Every structure is written in C-alpha cells, then in structure tokens.
Amino acid sequence: MSVIDELGAIRERALARIADATDLKGLDEVRVAVSGRKGELTAILHGMGALSAEERPQVGKLANEVRAAVEGALAARREELAASELRQRMAAEAVDVTLPGRRAPLGHEHLINSIIEEMEDFFCGIGYTVMDGPRVETEYYNFTALNTPPDHPSRSARDTFYVVDESEGADGLPTTGVIGESNVLLRTQTSGVQVHAMEAGEPPIYMIAPGTVFRPDQADPNHLPQFHQVEGLVVDKGITFGDLKGTLDAFSREMFGQDRQIRYRPHFFPFTEPSCEVDVSCGVCHGKGCRFCKNTGWLEILGAGMVDPNVLRMSGIDPEVYSGFAFGIGVERVACLRYDLPDLRMLVQGDMRFLRQF
C-alpha cells in the first residue's frame, strides 16, 4: 500500500473510531493511536526521510490534512461527549425540589398537660385567672395557714417530703415533732396557692392554680409520689355553697359529658367547712359497680368546700364581709376517669405506644 493510501486509511479508521467513541477516555485513546509518540501518523512523519523528493511534499501536505481532520473531529466529538456526560450527571444527581421534605418527628403535649389546659380553658371562660405557686414551699403555706393543726398526721415526715438542712445534723426524720412555720418542704397539695392569692390581693378572687405536688408514696396502680392538682379559690361577697355546686356541676359536665352523674359526699378538710368530695359515675359500668370503681359505681375526682373563716382571717380577709369556696382536682384521676386507665403509672413510664394515643 502506498503511503498516500495508508494516510487515507488512517484518516478513515480514526474518524470511524471517533464517531464510535462513547466517552472522553475512548477519544483520548484514538488521539494516542494516531498522533501519540508511537501513533500511526507519527510513524509516517518519522519515515518521511525515506521518501523520494517528489513524494515528500505531497505526503507532508496530506499528513497535515489528516492530522487537522482527526484533531477537528476529536475536538467536536469531545464537546459532544462532554455535553452528554454533563446531561447524564445532571439527570442522575438532580434534586427534585418539588418532593415533600422529610419531617422530623414532632411530639405533642402530654395527656396530663393537655387536661390541665382544658381545665384552664373552662375556668378562664367563666372569668377565673390562672396562678402559679412554688413547689418548694414552707410549712406555713402548706399547712399552718390552711388551718391544719400541729399534730395533724399529714404533717409528719411519713406523709410529707421535708427539705433537710444538713447543717443541723438531721437524723433522717428532720422535722418530726418540730413544727416550725419556716420549715421547707415539697408541697403536698396546691392548696397553699390559695394563701398566696389571698395575701397578694383584695377580693374578689376567682383563680385556679395548676401544679405538681409530692407525697412519699410508693408508686402503684393508684398512687404516684409526684402528681398534679388544679386548685381553685373564689372569695367574694355573698358566695354560698350554691355557687360551689353550680360551678363544679358545670365543670364536671364539661369534662365528662352530660351522661355522667355527679354526687357530693360530705368529707372533712381542715381548711374548708363544710367540706365535700365530688364523685363522678363510673364510665365503665355506668354506676352498676365494677372492678374499676371498686364496686361503688363512683370515682372521686376532687375535694371542695366553703373556705373556713379561720383561713380567711389568717390571710387578712374579713370573714364577716367575704366568703368563698375552694376546690382541689386530681388531674391524674380525671385522666383515669376519662380514658378508663387501669394504672396511674402508665402516665409516667414514657411508653410512646401509650402516650401517642392522646
């Protein structure tokens, strides 16, 4: 084959391979095969010395044309391939901004807090304000100012968590037998907020005070050492037991529905006279009696009564001018009653399968 024919063949082969190349790497292989150090075209150029004088310019000219054609084809194909590689990569790595994002799991309020909020809604709706009080309280606010006598069993270290002052060489039962008004304790009831409310302002007082309370009880289906109450206090001129009953009737119907019965049962609390407990008919047996209501047909939800004149007097309110009623609602009890929960501990165990239902 003449050198001229050979050059023509090199061009055809190179152009065909360039057209067939599917990536930039393949293109570069073509370049090396043609004009690399050991390339076909390079070999011909190196062999030019052996050609005759008339062949040489002809071959030189053609070789340049072949090189230009191959380089032109390489450049054009390179651009094509680069563009298509970019297109492919863009398609593969594309982010669809119209897809919905991945949401972080969002929690919600605990059942106890949502019941408290519901109670706040009810009482705010009839003109009450919501108060807060200290959870670490003095004996005065938790007991003394609530007309609780010094020897009342609830004041003992068996029924109340006292905050021990180590510097005084406590013996484990720090305040037994020592009734001091400034002894510090974890409040056993929210009733102390009544005293704060009466000290803070003149009647009329219409307030509720939700909060955590503490008692040294072993956790079991019916007890928790830490639970919640919503205290209520009304002090105004001419407040009667009828006001108490009307208010708590409306509250109970709102919380439990019209079909539940409500009953007022006489009871004793040191800070109210007369006092009562309020029961709601059992939602499981509808009053017939079952294991859930211990066969009574009723479940207790709150204590209440007319504020004892002594309590008003100790907080600087004249019982000849003002009267009032108070109540304390057990929030966990309300939760149990509403949802027929068999065990209070379910509320604090943090089992999401349980908590998510509410």
Binding site for ligand DAH (CB under 6 A): 189, 191, 231, 269, 272, 275, 303-305, 326-328
CB of 244 to ligand DAH, least distance (A): 9
- Asked if residues 340 and 257 have their Cβ atoms less than 8 Å apart, the reply is no
**207/326 with CB nearer ligand DAH:** 326
Helix ranges restricted to H, the chain: 3-20, 24-35, 40-46, 55-93, 111-125, 139-142, 192-200, 241-256, 309-314, 331-339, 352-355
Whether the bond between 204 and the residue before it is cis, its omega within 30 degrees of 0, is: yes
CB of 99 to ligand DAH, least distance (A): 54
Contacts of 29 (CB under 8 A, 6+ apart): 21
CB of 235 to ligand DAH, least distance (A): 12
**27/239 with CB nearer ligand DAH:** 239
Euclidean distance between the first and final Cα of the chain, in Å?
92
- Asked if residues 302 and 275 have their Cβ atoms less than 8 Å apart, the reply is no
CB of 175 to ligand DAH, least distance (A): 20
- Angle (nearest 5°) at CA 170 between 168 and 171: 150
Q: Which residue has the tokens 């108490």?
A: 244
Residue 63 corresponds to which amino acid? A
CB of 192 to ligand DAH, least distance (A): 9
**162/269 with CB nearer ligand DAH:** 269
- Asked if residues 325 and 304 have their Cβ atoms less than 8 Å apart, the reply is yes
**88/129 with CB nearer ligand DAH:** 129
**31/135 with CB nearer ligand DAH:** 135
CB of 182 to ligand DAH, least distance (A): 21
The rounded Cα 228 to chain-centroid distance in angstroms is: 19
**35/275 with CB nearer ligand DAH:** 275
Angle between helices 3-20 and 55-93 (to 10 degrees): 10
CB of 189 to ligand DAH, least distance (A): 4
**18/195 with CB nearer ligand DAH:** 195
What separation in angstroms does the CA of 286 have from each of 247, 336, 341? Answer: 23, 15, 16
